[in-house]
Amino acid sequence: MEHEVSAANYKDLVLFLATAGIVAPIFKRLRINPILGYLLAGVILGPFGLGRFIHAAPWLDYVTVDNPAEIAQLAEFGVVFLLFMIGLELSWERLRLMRKLVFGLGAAQVIGCSLVLAAGAMALGQPAPAALAIGAALTLSSTAIAVPVLAERRRLHSDAGRATFSVLLFQDLAVAPILITLAIVGRGHGEFRAADLLSLAPAAVGLGAIVLVGRIALRPMLKSVAKAKSEEMFMAACLLVIIGAGLVSQMSGLSMALGAFVAGILLAETEYRHEVEVKIEPFKGLLLSLFFVSLGIRLDLSLLVVKPVVILGTVAGLLLVKTAVVFGIGLLMGLGRKAATEAALILAAGGEFAFVLLDNAMGADVVPPAIGQAVLVSATLTMFLIPGLAALGQRLGRKGAPPPVSEAPTGEPDRVGPEPAGQVLVIGHGRVGKLVGDMLGRHDLAWIAIERDARLVEQGRRDGLRIYYGDASRVELLERCGLATARAVVVTMDAPEAAEAVVAAARGARPDLAIVARARDARHAARLYELGATDAVPETIEASLQLSEAVLVDIGVPMGLVIASIHERRDEYRKKLNRPDALGGKRRRLRDASLR
C-alpha cells in the first residue's frame, strides 16, 4: 500500500486521549481542579519528564510524547474555542458598558505591570530591551486557566470576574502591538518610525473585515444550514465560523483567539446562539485539556534544580508585583477593596502568551535563551497556582462581606446569557406554541421559545419574540435557555417521540419543575405522565370536551353548569391517565401539597 497505517504515528494522540479519559475523572473525584491534572500529566509525559529516562529504559518511549511542537500547534485551538464561547455570552452593548474596565483598568494593568517588572529585570542586570520584553511577557495573565476557574466558581460575572475578564481582553488586544515592538527592537533601530505605525493597519483591516462579513453573512449562512436540518452540516458551519475568523485575525497580525472572540460576539445576537454553544462545548473542553497538557510538556523542571533561587525568586516576585499593582489600580478605578483583591490574585500569575512573546524575543536576539527559558519555567509554575489563588481571592472577598443582592451593577444590563430567571420555556413555536406564548404575554409572564424549524424561528424573530433555534430534547440546550430557573416548561410539539424526549430531559434536570405537554391522544398522554409531565393535554379528549361544551350551551343548558361538568369530566380523564405510580402523578401531588 502507498500509505501504510503505523501505530507509532498515533501514539501521541492515544496518550492524550488516555490522559483526558483518566486524569479528569480522578481529579474531579478528589475534588481537585482537573487543570492541575492536565498540567502535571504534560510534565510527566513530556521530554523533560519520563522522556529523560528513555536511554535507561527504552520502553518509556511508548508513554512519552514524541512531537510536542505538533501538539502545541493543535492545542492553540483550545484558547481559540474558549474565547469564542466567551464572546457568545456577551454583546456589543455589554462591551460598550465595559469599556472603562477594558481600556481603563486593562490598559493601566498592562502598562503598570510591564514597567515595574521591566525595572526589576534591569535592576537584576538585564539590558533595557531584554527587560522590557521580559516585563511585557510576564504582565500577560492566563485567559485559558483564569476564565474556566472563574466560571467553575460562578465568579465570572461578579465585580471581580468582570474586572478580571476586562483585563484579560485588553491583554489579548495588546499582544499584536507588543510583538510589533519586539520586532522593531530586534531590527536594532530602537525607535518608532511612521512606517512602523502602518504595520498596525492590517490588524484594524482584519478586525473590520470580520465584523463586516459577520454582520452581513453570518445569520443568512446559519439560516441556510439550519433549513437543511443536518446536524453534521450545522456543526461544520460552526467550525468554519470559528476557524475562519481566527485565521483572518492571525493573518492580520492579531491572535486567532481574538478573531474567534469577535465572531462569538456577532453570533451572540442571533437566534442560533444556544445551539452553537451546545455544538461547540465538547470541542472547547477537549482542546482546552490538550492545551494544558501541552503547557506541561514544555515545562523543564530541571531548571528548578539548576537555578532554584532564580526560578523561585522570579515566581515570588511576579506574584507580589502583579498583585500589588493590580490591587492599587483597581482601587483607583473604583473597584471595591474585596473585588480588587480577588482580581489581583487571579491576574497575578503568568499566562500562555508569555511563550509567544518570549519565543519571539529569543528569536530576535532581544532576550538571551538561557534567561528566556528560566522566565518561561517561572511563568508556567505560577500558572499551576491560579486555582489556589482564585480560591484565596474568593475567600478574602467574602470575608466580612454582606450577602450579595445581585452580581450585576444597578442600572447595568446583564450579559446576553444565561437567560433571565423565572421565565416559561415554550418548546415549539407552531400554531399551538404561538397561542401559548400570546396567552402568557397577556398575563405579563416572560417566556422563551425553542423551535427546530428555522423558518418559524426567523418569523418569530421578525415579530420581536425571544426565540432560539435548536433541538430541545437535549438537556444542554434547555440549560442554556434557562431551565435551572424556569417557572415551567410547555411542550407544544406535534411529534409524539420528540415531545416525550423533551419531557424526559426536562424532568431529569429539574425534578421540581411544572411541565405541561401536548399529547396526541389518551395513550400518548399516559406515556407523558409516566415520563414526568405534570399535566398532559390530549388533543382528542380536549376536542371532544370543547364540542360538548358548545352543543350544551347552544341547546340552552346554563353556562355555569356546563363549565362545571366539563371541568369534572376533565379531572376524571386526568386521574385515569395520570396513575398514582406515574412520575407525573408523584410530581403533581408534591406540587399540590406545596400549594396548600
Q: What CATH number did the domain enclosing 523 receive?
A: 3.40.50.720
How high is the pLDDT of residue 489?
93
Q: Which set of grid coordinates corresponds to residue 420?
A: 433571565
In sequence order, which residues have a C-beta less than 8 Å from that of residue 233 and are 6 or more positions away?
A: 225
Tell me: do 330 and 446 sit in the same domain: no
How high is the pLDDT of residue 189?
47
Residue 27 belongs to some domain of the structure: no
Tell me: do 263 and 116 sit in the same domain: yes
Residue 28 belongs to some domain of the structure: no
How high is the pLDDT of residue 413?
35
Q: Which residues of 382-400 are buried (b: 16+ CB within 10 A; e: fewer)?
A: bbbbbbebbeebbeebeee
Tell me: do 362 and 491 sit in the same domain: no
Range of the domain at 496: 424-578
Q: Which set of grid coordinates corresponds to residue 154?
A: 460562578
Residue 200 belongs to some domain of the structure: no
Tell me: do 348 and 226 sit in the same domain: yes
Closest CA to 223 of 272, 262, 264, 263: 272
Integer Cα distance of 169 and 101 in angstroms:
10
Residue 339 belongs to some domain of the structure: yes
How high is the pLDDT of residue 447?
93
How high is the pLDDT of residue 316?
92
- Under DSSP, the state recorded for 50 is G
CA distances from 142 to 165, 167, 171, 314, 384 (A): 10, 11, 10, 17, 11
- Under DSSP, the state recorded for 364 is T
Tell me: do 114 and 244 sit in the same domain: yes
The reply to whether omega before 387 is within 30° of 0 (cis) is no
233: domain CATH number is 1.20.1530.20
> Can you give 456-491 as a three-state secondary structure string?
HHHHHHHCCCCEEECCCCCHHHHHHCCHHHCCEEEE
* DSSP class per residue in 8-19: GGGHHHHHHHHH
Closest CA to 79 of 353, 269, 354: 353
How high is the pLDDT of residue 543?
85
Q: Cβ distance 214 to 262 under 8 Å? A: yes
User: Helix or strand or coil: residue 516?
Assistant: strand
Environment class of residue 554 by beta-carbon count within 10 Å: exposed (0-12), middle (13-18) or buried (19+)?
exposed
How high is the pLDDT of residue 83?
79
pTM: 0.73
Tell me: do 142 and 258 sit in the same domain: yes
Tell me: do 435 and 567 sit in the same domain: yes
Residues facing 469 on adjacent strands: 451
φ, ψ for residue 393, nearest 5 deg = -60, -40
Residue 302 belongs to some domain of the structure: yes
Tell me: do 452 and 312 sit in the same domain: no
φ, ψ for residue 538, nearest 5 deg = -75, 130
Tell me: do 358 and 432 sit in the same domain: no
CA distances from 141 to 35, 78, 96 (A): 16, 16, 23
Tell me: do 84 and 162 sit in the same domain: yes
User: Helix or strand or coil: residue 449?
Assistant: strand
Per-residue pLDDT 10s for the chain (596 aa) are 455 555 556 777 777 778 777 877 787 777 777 777 888 888 888 888 888 888 888 887 777 887 777 777 777 788 788 778 878 877 677 777 778 888 889 899 999 999 999 999 999 888 888 898 899 999 999 887 888 888 777 787 788 888 898 898 888 778 767 776 776 665 554 454 555 556 567 777 888 888 888 888 888 898 888 888 888 899 899 999 999 988 888 888 777 877 888 888 888 888 888 888 888 888 888 888 888 888 788 777 778 778 888 889 989 999 999 999 999 999 998 888 888 999 999 999 998 778 778 877 887 788 888 888 888 888 888 988 888 888 888 888 665 444 443 333 333 334 444 566 778 999 999 999 999 999 999 999 999 999 998 889 989 998 889 999 998 988 888 988 888 889 999 999 988 899 999 999 999 888 888 999 999 888 898 888 888 888 888 888 888 888 888 888 889 888 888 888 888 888 877 777 776 656 655 555 555 555 55
Residue 68 belongs to some domain of the structure: no
Residue 59 belongs to some domain of the structure: no
Please say which residue of 397, 432, 460 terminates a domain: 397
Tell me: do 498 and 555 sit in the same domain: yes
Tell me: do 340 and 462 sit in the same domain: no
- Under DSSP, the state recorded for 580 is T
CA distances from 166 to 90, 398, 408, 580 (A): 12, 21, 15, 54
Instruction: Read off the amino acid at residue 58.
Output: P
Cα-trace Rg, the chain: 29
Number of structural domains found in the chain:
2
User: Helix or strand or coil: residue 154?
Assistant: coil
